Amino acid sequence: MRNKLVTAAALAVAAVLSLSACGPDGGSDNADGSVAEVSAQPRDKAATVLDRPFEKPDLVLTDTTGKPYDLRERTKGKPTLIYFGYTHCPDVCPLTMSNIAVARKQLPKADQDRLQVVFVTTDPQRDTAAELAKWLPAAGDPSFVGLTGDFPTIQAGARQLGIGVEPSTKDKNGKVVSMHGTQVVAFSPRTDRGYVLYGEDTTPEDFTKDLPRIIKGENP
């Protein structure tokens, strides 16, 4: 159920950071040209720490109440996790939201309140504000922010984080699928920049271990 999207990673040894995507079987390539510098670190860690952090996308979308949501303004100075996905995803998206929700519940109440988890749909035609409002509490947590809007704006915001997002298409069976990179990007409350990436294989235990440091503005 997963294809591959690829973005360049400027490692000292010119390694490539591989991104997975929800979708039907078959090949698909994405060439968004985004580059992220990754620190040389043991690969047994779930987190990938960037030497050159991402700026938070300048996105104004619509939240689950139907009101405008200015991503930079609303999450300023707060530890923030951002993920791009869609509610009809059969596997990675609900699992990722569930894993983060499990880890969030292990935090002290004050830290739970500080942590912002933002889910941006890659399938805005189907993922209305009302649809996100129904799906997020079941897939993740009622505190999670769901955002929708026009596709070009969402795609541009994702690309600012090196995440490939393609317009929804239909497979040979007529099923609508949305191809997207599956990283979670963690933003520091100290700088509002994204220093940390998590892939789709990140477990609840990984998030549980790392979130206290991210909330403090520290790298895992």
Cα Rg for the chain, rounded, in angstroms?
Answer: 16
The rounded distance, in Å, linking the Cα atoms of 39 and 30 is 24
pLDDT for the residue numbered 22:
63
The rounded distance, in Å, linking the Cα atoms of 137 and 98 is 10
Percent of the residues in the chain that have a pLDDT greater than 70, as a whole number: 80
pLDDT for the residue numbered 175:
83
pLDDT for the residue numbered 44:
62
pLDDT for the residue numbered 20:
44
Mean pLDDT of the chain: 84
171 pLDDT tier (thresholds 50, 70, 90):
confident
| Predicted TM-score (pTM) of this structure | 0.82
pLDDT for the residue numbered 12:
24
Residue 194 has a CB neighbour count (10 Å cut-off) of: 25
Task: For residue 136, report the phi and psi dihedrals to the nearest 5 degrees.
Answer: -60, -45
